[in-house]
């Protein structure tokens, strides 16, 4: 049933490819796209590109998830840190991350270093802001109750503040990962990395390999969908929903 829209789309595409005014090199048929997707997969090239992209995404997101959460917690717990850091975060967050790309490439070099630092920097903003909101949103009464029962700072943090803020932190991670994903593909095109799905698509332009580009886009879509279904939905189920934090 869900296949019908895709069949219609493919048929429409095929019609344009056959009878449209685009030359086949620029507008390949569905068959050709599928063929080059199969070829790229079979030769392991697509897998290599996807692996590099995934590794870059994981590395930059790990940095962002950690540093963003730490910054958010520090801002939420300390007035001084909040006063100092929050204005900078609110100024930096709305600037489109990709606008920093050329600057970061100048500062950190083309290739992996520049692109990972950039993607990490950009995706740390939503993590920090959401973590900060979450720490602030922990009910005062829970904190006081724990303190009355003799919890020290460490236990308070571990057993009250962290679980209380976790739904927000997870939302921040989710937003951060989505942001990282959206700009990583663009950054790969700009940063002249040797492997990566963004580069696969961009590099194929030189040779007018539209079929390779579209195969790359299919791979990107599949990866994005997998991230959502395999990473975030289970994560949410096992933590937030299970602890009953979501309903409140």
Partner 1 sequence: MRALISIVLFAALYEAVAHSGAFAPALVPGLTIIATRLYSMLADGSMASHALATLYRVFAGLGLAAVSGLVLGFLMARLRPVERFFMPLLSAFMPIPSLAWAPVFILWFGLGNVATILIVFYAASFPMVLNTWTGARAVNPLWLRAAGSMGASGPALFWKVVVPGASPFIITGLRLAFQRAWIAVVGAEMLAASDLGLGWVIFDAKEFLNADTMLASLIVIGLIGFVFERLVFGTVEKATVQRWGMVRTAKA
Binding residues for partner 1 (CB under 8 A): 1-2, 4-6, 8-9, 22, 26-27, 83-88, 91, 94-103, 105-107, 181-186, 189-190, 197-198, 201-202, 204-205, 208, 210, 213-214, 216-217, 220-221, 223-225, 227-228
- Cβ 219 to partner 1 shortest distance, Å: 10
Nearer to partner 1, 204 or 240 (CB): 204
- Cβ 163 to partner 1 shortest distance, Å: 26
Nearer to partner 1, 170 or 189 (CB): 189
Tokens of 241: 């929903």
Asked whether 128 and 71 are in contact (CB, 8 A), the reply is yes
Tokens of 196: 């990566």
Quick one: 126 exposed, middle or buried, by C-beta within 10 A (0-12, 13-18, 19+)? buried
- Cβ 2 to partner 1 shortest distance, Å: 5
- Name every residue whose Cβ is closer than 8 Å to that of residue 127 and which is 6 or more positions away in sequence: 64, 65, 68, 69, 72, 169, 172, 173, 175, 176
- Cβ 71 to partner 1 shortest distance, Å: 13
Could you write out the DSSP letters of every residue in 156-203? Answer: HIIIIIHHHHHHHHHHHHHHHHHHHHHHHHHHHHHTT-SS-HHHHHHH
Count the neighbouring beta carbons within 10 Å of the beta carbon of residue 158. 12
Nearer to partner 1, 152 or 233 (CB): 233
- Cβ 43 to partner 1 shortest distance, Å: 21
- Cβ 210 to partner 1 shortest distance, Å: 6
Nearer to partner 1, 146 or 175 (CB): 175
Q: How far is residue 207's CA from residue 137's CA, in Å, rounded to a whole number?
A: 54
Nearer to partner 1, 165 or 213 (CB): 213
Nearer to partner 1, 89 or 160 (CB): 89
Nearer to partner 1, 161 or 197 (CB): 197
- Cβ 187 to partner 1 shortest distance, Å: 9
Distances (CA, A) of 196 to 129, 176, 181, 201: 30, 20, 12, 9
Tokens of 34: 């599928």
Asked whether 83 and 141 are in contact (CB, 8 A), the reply is no
């Amino acid at each position: 049933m869900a296949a019908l829209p895709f069949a219609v789309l493919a048929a429409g595409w095929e019609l344009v490819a056959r009878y449209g005014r685009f030359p086949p090199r620029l507008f390949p048929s569905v068959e050709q796209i599928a063929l080059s997707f199969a070829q790229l997969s079979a030769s392991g090239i697509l897998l290599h590109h996807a692996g590099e992209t995934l590794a870059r995404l994981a590395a930059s997101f790990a940095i962002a998830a950690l540093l963003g959460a730490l910054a958010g917690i520090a801002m939420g717990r300390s007035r001084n840190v909040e006063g100092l850091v929050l204005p900078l975060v609110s100024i930096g967050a709305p600037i489109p991350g990709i606008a920093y790309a050329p600057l970061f490439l100048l500062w950190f070099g083309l290739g992996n270093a520049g692109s990972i630092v950039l993607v990490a920097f950009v995706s740390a903003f939503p993590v920090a802001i959401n973590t900060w909101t979450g720490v602030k949103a922990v009910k005062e009464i829970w904190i006081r109750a724990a303190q009355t029962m003799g919890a020290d700072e460490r236990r308070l943090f571990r057993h009250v503040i962290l679980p209380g803020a976790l739904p927000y932190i997870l939302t921040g991670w989710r937003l951060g990962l989505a942001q990282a994903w959206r700009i990583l593909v663009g950054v790969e095109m700009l940063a002249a990395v040797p492997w990566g799905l963004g580069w696969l698509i961009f590099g194929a332009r030189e040779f007018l390999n539209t079929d390779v580009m579209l195969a790359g886009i299919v791979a990107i879509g599949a990866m994005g969908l997998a991230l959502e279904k395999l990473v975030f939905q289970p994560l949410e189920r096992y933590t937030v929903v299970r602890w009953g934090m979501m309903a409140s």
